[in-house]
Amino acid sequence: MPFPPRARLIANRSPVVLPSMLLCDFGHLADEIGQLADVGVEGFHLDVMDGHFVPNLTYGMPIVEAARRATELPLDVHLMIAHPGRYLRAFADAGADVITVHVEVDEDPAELLSAIRKLGAAAGLACNPATPLDRVEPYLPWCDLVLVMSVPAGFGGQPFDRAALRKLAALREWARAEDRILEIDGGVNPDTAPDAVEHGADWLVAGSAIFRSDNYESAVQALNRAAGAAGPSRLEP
């Protein structure tokens, strides 16, 4: 399935840095989004956590809707929730361009991914650091994107787990002839971004490296320089 129109703007670009809005000032969400758009970010990553699948609790459809009202840039929505199938339509209606679910949920990932595509969004499948890639491989035909977690899902600000690099490299080999995005999330900063790109990451989700900085523009530029210095991540088929 082709990526939906907004996500198509960055689907064929690599590498792309996406701010994770988990650490933003939600009291001024539209301003935060506007500031980041002004310094050149190309989309936004929204982490939805339910307090069950992961121990943390964040936000749901209203924040995705608010983000959608604030920007026409792509919204990459990561569902860290126990029963994502119940909410896929609601998140698609809220404005998600990409919806990612976890391979570790009890529901059938193939059915979830197919349902996401039918709703007109790109379908992503995420795996935690402790999850072996053979759990992911059977579902690659249903994926538009694979998200490799480089920290355990649930909280921002955790250190980068380098085991994610081996997963990225293996996934890039499996998907080298496919138009499939590889994404990494967790501990991404100017020190870890080059390795992530070199091992296959197309999209890099960064939270602390942006929102705990004193200046969004310099933080985004530093991430872009670090990621770009490693060169394009996609291998020629």
SS (H, E, C) 156-207: CCCCCCCHHHHHHHHHHHHCCCCCCEEEEECCCCCCCHHHHHHCCCCEEEEC
pLDDT value at position 105?
95
191 labelled catalytic: no
161 touches 134 (CB < 8 A): no
Q: Answer whether 228's CB lies under 8 Å from 205's CB.
A: no
CA 151 from centroid of its chain's CA atoms: 13
For the stretch 7-63, pLDDT in tens is: 887 888 889 999 999 999 999 999 999 999 999 999 999 999 999 899 888 999 999
pLDDT value at residue 177? 43
Which of 47, 50, 144, 161 is labelled catalytic? 47
Whether 195 sits among the annotated catalytic residues: the reply is no
The residue annotated as part of the active site, out of 50, 144, 185, 202, is 185
In the beta sheet, which residues pair with residue 20? 45
Q: 84 pLDDT exceeds 50?
A: yes
In the structure, what pLDDT confidence band is assigned to residue 192 with cuts at 50, 70 and 90? very high
Cβ–Cβ under 8 Å, residues 154 and 52: no
**pLDDT tens, 195-206?**
999 999 999 999
With the C-alpha atoms ordered 204, 209, 215, 221, is the resulting torsion angle positive or negative?
A: negative
Name all domains of the chain by residue range, CATH numbers in brackets. Answer: 5-229 (3.20.20.70)
Q: How confident is the model at residue 229 (pLDDT cuts 50, 70, 90)?
A: confident
**Portion of the chain with pLDDT greater than 70, in percent:** 92
Q: What is the pLDDT of residue 32?
A: 98
